[in-house]
Amino acid sequence: MYQKRKKRKKIIISISAILLILIFSIAAISQHIKTLEEPNILGSYRGNDSSLSGQSVEAVRDFGAEAIIVPGAAVLSGNTPSPILKARLDAAFDLYSRGLAPKILLSGDGTGDYYDEISVMLEYMKEKGVPGDDVFCDYQGINTYQSMVRAKQVFGVNRAIVVTQSFHLPRAIYIGQNADMKTRGIATDQVGPKEIRQDNVQLIFREIMARNKDFFALKFKKIPKYNGETVDISGDGTLTHKKVDMP
């Protein structure tokens, strides 16, 4: 009986040690991405801010982005952007109207018949008065990895500013950089903790795991070369406004 208890105790200790190492590794990878890309965050919108500080504006201007990438997020009933998505779109519009980038690339999940982030995002930009030829749409940016990789491979973006919330931004920049696209970020934290659920354990855990997933995808899986039809980001964005026109 004593030997059985001793053996069981060793097994429990071994399993606990493995779990601790796994948890530490997951947390370390997540923190690595966050620390690595923090210097590439050029500024942020916070609280009721509707514009960037002068220093951030000059940093973005000096970077010379070809496009502002807006990753998709949830849309609400009535085809309105969620607070998270609205914050991203408002930031993109502010940067564009200041002349800090000539084009806007909307990239989200537009593949469904009844759920379409891109159409809502595009309509929002049109209502803001952004000329259609300056707005490009990627209906197949179904996740952050796809959005950033396709920005480079399909749209030929070499220098990009990505606008999204600070908890999500390091991963978006990290993917862009590893996809051979010089990428900088602007944090869109105009919405409060309640709206972005920053204190939600599920949200934080999901982002930590997503960082790990994309880290290993970029580390061990070569980014497939896109050989289909491409879109010139310096051209006419209206050619991408319909799903059927998208490669």
DSSP helix/strand/coil, 20 = helix
Asked if 132 and 241 count as a contact pair (C-beta separation under 8 A), the reply is yes
DSSP string computed for 161-204 = EEEE-TTTHHHHHHHHHHTT-EEEEEEEE-S-HHHHTTT-HHHH
pLDDT at 1: 61
DSSP helix/strand/coil, 217 = helix
For residue 100, report the phi and psi dihedrals to the nearest 5 degrees: -85, -10
Cα–Cα distance for residue pair 132/12, rounded to 1 Å: 62
Q: What is the pTM for the complete model shown?
A: 0.89
Predicted local confidence at residue 195, as pLDDT: 57
Compute φ and ψ for 74, nearest 5 degrees. Answer: -60, 145
The pLDDT of residue 242 is: 85
**Residue 135: strand, helix, or coil:** strand
User: Average pLDDT of each block of 10 consecutive residues along the chain (247 residues)?
Assistant: 68 84 92 95 81 85 96 87 93 95 94 83 96 95 94 95 95 96 94 58 86 92 73 94 70
pLDDT at position 121 is 95
CB 156 within 8 A of CB 233: yes
